[in-house]
Amino acid sequence: MNPATLTALPTSDTTLRTLFSIGFLARFSYALARNPVLPLFALFLGAGPEAVGLAVGVSTVTGILFKLPAGALSDVVGRRRTMLAGLVVFGLMPFAYFFIDSYRALIVVRFFHGLATAIYGPVAMAVVAEVAGSRRGELLSWFSSVGIIGTLLGAPIGGLVLDVSASGGPVLWQFRMVFALSAVAGMAALLLGLKTLRHDAPQESDQATGSGLQRFRQGIGQVLSDRRLVTASAVEGVQNMGMGALEAFLPIYAVTVVGLSEFQAGLLWGAQIFVTMLSKPLLGRMSDSRGRRGLIVVGLVLCGGALASIPFLHAFLPLLVASLVFGMGEALVTSSSAALVADMCRDRQFGSAMGAFGTIFDIGHASGPICAGLLIGWGGYQVSFPLLAVAMIIAIPLFLKNVPRED
């Protein structure tokens, strides 16, 4: 455990409670402005289907570009300053939506709004990893699950506001009402951070550790050159490639191929997320006591098997079972992989490590829908989903080869 973190905050328990609360508010704020509000707002501005996809995905590009630098920066200038920079974006960017009058302006705002999660996410995970000690898997999983709760609440509340007295579709004042709610939640997260996150611990002198820029470059270089760390992060990326594909195409498959209702399609996705959210803390605790590699391997097998089976299932109940199995596999992988990355990195490089992990996570999540769409167009669902599942299975021996067994 890094003593610098403990001097920056009152106690480790207070640190975690604060981070969980801030994480919930921040993710709730972000979800309010994302789904289903964002694609509907893009349509309101006159965007076509391709343009809607860009509006939804552009914030992921921000994460890919900035998560690693943000994490490395926190190793140099301190966690508090970097986290508060992310919380400022959470608090202030929702107000920018009030001034959007064109699709181009929406793209610009979405890109900069993505800085919120790109900066805050990896740094907060680094703090949790530092203060968690032997409970790293469990507490990182709790942090993730609390964020999922905020996301799950934000989406339906945003949709409900748009649905109120919306004959012929939502109008401008309804969108602005959602953005106002997003701003309130974001400002609450920022104010809580300003109130409870105390000063950073003193940094070591430049003579002892080199200049700030030199340490920034060294942190990124050392993390990216660590084959074990990159491999463990890549496993999460491969799993998220499958999750991204399901997120984009499972509802379409369920409705257009199987003939399910939109409500049933929503239940499939909701059941998967619900299982993941509930299982992660328990599985994280299990990874702390029984090791992480085995759980990750089992999770990849479950995710791959469920994903490959979906194109051959043609009724609601079998698809629900496959969704639940994928959700459990996702929980097994994600509850262990971030903790494993933290286990392998040096004490002063938690930010860089979590930044690299988040970057690869975003690359996988963004590439999943793209790869699945291309493969579906080429060979249909019965080619696309099994090939993505094969990628998960191929990742297993590479993971076991490059990541040593825990002591």
Structure tokens that stand for 260 in this block: 């399910």
Phi-psi region of 100 (alpha: psi -120 to 50; beta: other; left: phi over 0): beta
For the whole model, what pTM was predicted?
Answer: 0.79
pLDDT for residue 3: 37
What is the residue type of 22? Answer: I
What is the residue type of 72? Answer: A
pLDDT for residue 163: 73
Radius of gyration of the chain (CA): 21
Q: Which CATH class is domain 1-203?
A: mainly alpha
Same fold for the domain at 1-203 and the one at 227-402? yes
Asked which of 84-88, 153-157, 310-314 is least confident by mean pLDDT, the reply is: 153-157
What gap in Å lies between CA 276 and CA 364, rounded to an integer? 18
Structure tokens that stand for 319 in this block: 């698809």
pLDDT for residue 200: 52
Mean pLDDT over 88-115 rounds to 94
pLDDT for residue 49: 64
What is the share, in percent, of the chain residues with pLDDT greater than 70?
89
- 204: pLDDT strictly greater than 80: no
Structure tokens that stand for 234 in this block: 């890549």
What gap in Å lies between CA 321 and CA 157, rounded to an integer? 27
pLDDT for residue 298: 96
pLDDT digits (tens, 9 = 90+) for 382-404: 999 999 999 999 999 999 998 88
Q: Could you confirm whether domain 227-402 is CATH 1.20.1250.20?
A: yes
Which of 66, 361, 351, 356 minimizes the C-alpha distance to 224?
A: 356
| Residue 199 neighbours by CB under 8 Å, 6+ apart | 8, 80
Q: Where are the domains of the chain?
A: 1-203, 227-402
What gap in Å lies between CA 393 and CA 390, rounded to an integer? 5
Do 132 and 13 meet the contact criterion of CB atoms below 8 Å apart?
no
pLDDT for residue 247: 81
- 218: pLDDT strictly greater than 80: no
pLDDT digits (tens, 9 = 90+) for 4-44: 443 343 346 776 788 899 999 999 999 888 877 888 888 88
